[in-house]
Amino acid sequence: MVMKANIPMRYLLAIPALCAVLLASGCVSMRPSQAKQWFRGNTHAHTIRSDGDSAPEVVAKWYHDHNYNFLVITDHNKFVDPREIKLPDEKRDDFLLIPGEEITGSKAIHTTAMNITNVASWKFDHTERSEIIQYHVDQAMAAGGQAVLNHPNFKYAASAEDILPVRHLSMFELFNGHPSVHNHGDSKHPSTEAMWDHLLTEGMKIFAVSSDDTHHLKTIAANKANPGRGWVMVHAASLDPDAITRAMLQGDFYASNGVFLKTCERGPRTYLIEVDAQKTRGELTSLPALRGKPVENGSEGFRIEFIGPAGKVLDTIKGEEGRFQIDGSIPYVRAKATFTRAHPDTGTLEEYYAWGQPVFTDASVATKALPGNSDRSGPLAGRSVSLLSH
C-alpha cells in the first residue's frame, strides 16, 4: 500500500485511526471537522541566503502580513534555520516557519526538502534523471523531511517517465509562480497538469502542490518571481511542522493559483467542491500583478470539473458548487475549480484554478500491486497514455 510506504513511522504512530482509513480505502476523507482547520501556506521561497532579493525576515513578514499561516523558506542548497529568523513583534499566533531547502541538483532537477532538521545533500549526478530525483527524495527523508519535486518543466528537466520510477515521492509542483518554469508546457512538452494525469493513470499516488518560488519582493512584474501567485490550503489538526507535512502527505490539501474553496470534501464516495467566490475575487483584486492562464474562449465565472484517468473530464458543472458520485471502478478522481475573468488592465481572458487532490478508489488498490511508487506491475504498466492538455 503505497500511502503507508510514503509516511514515516513517527507519523503513523501518531494517527492510528487515520492509518486504518488509509489501509481500508486508499484515500483520506477531507470532511471538515472541529479537529481540523485550513491553513494557507507557501512551500517554496528564496531569500538573500541564496538568490532572492530580500532578507529572510522580510520574506517571512510578507507572508505573515498577507495572512498566510505557514512558509517554507527553501534557499538553494542551504538550510536556513527558522529559529534564526526574527519575526514581527506583533506576530500572529497562527503563523509558522517550517524549515526547508531547495535541493538544487544536476540537470536542472530541483526538489524542496520540507520539514528537515539539517541540510540535505545535492551532490549527485547520474545519466538517468530518475536516479537524481530519487537521490533528492532520499536525502530529504534522511534529513528528517519530505520531498516535493519542483517545477518539472523548468528547462523540461523531468518528464513523467523520469518521475514514475521514483520511490517515496508523494508530491510535485503542478504550479510554480516563477516566470520561467513552463507550467503549461509547449508544443513539444505536456503541461504539468497533463503530466500529473499521466502519473496518476500509471498508478503513482502523487499529490499536486502550488507554490510561489519567490525570489523578488522589490519589483513586482510579470517577469519577476513575486510572492502570492501559488499556494496550498492544508487541512490539518494543528499548525506545527509535522502536522502540516503529515496532512500534505495524505493529500489533505488543495493547490491554488487564485481560487479559494469554501468546501473541499474528498471521498471516498463523494467529492464535493464549493468555491469561495468572494474571497477569490478579493484576492485577485488585492494582488493586481497576478496573471492567470490566457485562454481564447470562455465566459466569465466559475466552473468545476471532475477528472479521471488520462485526464478525461468526467463531469463539468458551471457554477460555484459541484458534487461527484465516485464510481469505484474508476481508479482515481480529482477535482478542479476554474475562475475565468477578463483581466481588468488588459481585457485578456484568463483562468485561475484550485486543484483538489485525487481520491484513489478500490479499483486503484485492487488492480495495481504497488508496495511503493516503484512497482508498476498492474495492467496499466507500460501502457502509453494520451496526454490531454488542460
Residue 252 within binding range of Zn ion, rule CB under 5 A: no
Stretch 134-153: interaction string toward Zn ion, x if CB under 5 A: ----------------x---
Residue 129 within binding range of Zn ion, rule CB under 5 A: no
| Nearest residue relative to Zn ion (C-beta) | 110
Q: In the complex with Zn ion, which residue's Cβ is closer, 213 or 283? A: 213
Min dist CB 218 to Zn ion, Å, is 17
Residue 283 within binding range of Zn ion, rule CB under 5 A: no
Residue 334 within binding range of Zn ion, rule CB under 5 A: no
Which residues from 83-102 bind Zn ion, rule CB under 5 A? 102
Q: For residues 276-295, b (16+ Cβ closer than 10 Å) or e, as one string?
A: bbeebeebbeeeeebbbbee
Cell 486508499 sits at which residue?
26
Rounded CA-CA distance 288/308 in Å is 33
Min dist CB 111 to Zn ion, Å, is 9
Beta bridge partners of 356: 254, 335
Among 110, 293, 334, 341, binds Zn ion (CB under 5 A): 110
Taking CA atoms, 189 is separated from 17, 27, 55, 175, in Å, by 42, 30, 36, 15
Residue 75 within binding range of Zn ion, rule CB under 5 A: no
Residue 216 within binding range of Zn ion, rule CB under 5 A: no
Min dist CB 342 to Zn ion, Å, is 31
The one-letter amino acid code at 373 reads N
Min dist CB 244 to Zn ion, Å, is 19
How would you class 347 by CB atoms within 10 Å of its CB: exposed for 0-12, middle for 13-18, buried for 19 or more? exposed
Residue 202 within binding range of Zn ion, rule CB under 5 A: no
**Span of 22-30, 103-111, 202-210, 377-385 interacting with Zn ion by CB under 5 A:** 103-111
Q: In the complex with Zn ion, which residue's Cβ is closer, 45 or 243? A: 45
Min dist CB 151 to Zn ion, Å, is 6
Rounded CA-CA distance 100/373 in Å is 23
Q: Is the dihedral of CA 69, 73, 79, 83 positive or negative?
A: negative
Question: Which residue in 273, 272, 266 sits closest to 361, CA to CA?
Answer: 266
Residues of the shown chain interacting with Zn ion in the complex, contacts defined by CB under 5 A:
102, 110, 150, 213
